[in-house]
Amino acid sequence: MAGKRTFTMIKPDAFEAGHSGAILKMIEEAGFKVVAMKATILSRELAGKFYEVHKERPFYQDLCAYMSSGPIFAAILEKDNAVDDFRKLIGATNPADAAEGTIRKLFATSIEANAVHGSDSDENASIEGNFFFSQFERVV
């Protein structure tokens, strides 16, 4: 059965451009409940750990530099079928390919600076949520 939680980040481009409020509104209106959230800045080292799965990809160094370039919001979201529904809400990785009305279509500026992260599986949702939040912080 699909899990009830996913993990997201509002990435540095969207945070810097002041889109966090509009993005959160879309997330809540789509039925997701924010059960943990923090503003933070990833160090280069932590960005590298978070995206370790991509370390052989040609864009890995650029991605880590970008993700540590400024503040982000990290959040755990709750909803039935959370992972799949959230991936639909954010749209394709490349905003040029993202469906109309998706968060990336509306707010992303490039395939790298694509406004938001969304976990791609229940297992990764759990790993990524635990990367940013201890059990103690999940107070909701």
In whole angstroms, what is the distance from residue 64 CA to residue 55 CA? 10
Tell whether residue 125 is a contact of ligand GDP (CB under 6 A): no
Beta-carbon-side half-sphere exposure of residue 19 (alpha carbons within 13 Å)? 24
SS (H, E, C) 2-54: CCCEEEEEECHHHHHCCCHHHHHHHHHHCCCEEEEEEEECCCHHHHHHHCHHH
Q: Does 131 bind ligand GDP (CB under 6 A)?
A: no
68 interacts with ligand GDP by CB under 6 A? no
Judged by CB under 6 A, the residue of 49, 59, 99, 137 near ligand GDP is 59
Annotated catalytic, 19?
no
Residue number, 59 or 137, with CB nearest to ligand GDP? 59
Q: Does 5 bind ligand GDP (CB under 6 A)?
A: no
Which residues of this protein are in contact with ligand GDP, per CB under 6 A?
59, 62-63, 93, 111-112, 114, 117, 120
Catalytic residues: 117
